[in-house]
Amino acid sequence: MKRIGIEEVVSALALGLTLLGSAATATAYEAELRAYWQALASICMTGVTPDHVRFYEAVVKAVEAAEYGRGRTSNFWGPRSPELAYLDCFQAPGWQ
């Protein structure tokens, strides 16, 4: 029977803490994104408002903290800006 060394125990604990931290960040990111999507529901009627910008900035911060999509230079990075979402109202009606 092989004995587990201290290095393996420390590695397992570090991995567990990393995964736990990632899960907490992902949860915060999802909550921020949900709030932003709810704010976008009225953007075609109201145009871009300070609330849209505030929610967008909050979700950008949360997405960056979660390191989602490998950063802003990636095609898979984060949320659409309120300005682009507003333009979608006219370029692609019914986008929601």
Whether residue 44 is contained in a domain is answered as yes
Range of the domain at 51: 27-91
Half-sphere exposure for 44 (CA within 13 Å, toward CB): 11
Distance CA 52, CA 55 (A): 5
Whether residue 22 is contained in a domain is answered as no
What is the pLDDT of the chain when averaged over all its residues?
73
In tens, the pLDDT along 62-82 reads 888 877 666 666 666 668 889
Whether residue 72 is contained in a domain is answered as yes
Q: Which pLDDT value is given to residue 7?
A: 55
Q: Which pLDDT value is given to residue 66?
A: 77
Q: Which pLDDT value is given to residue 27?
A: 66
H helix or E strand, kind and range, residue 28: helix 6-40
Give mean pLDDT, residues 19-39.
71
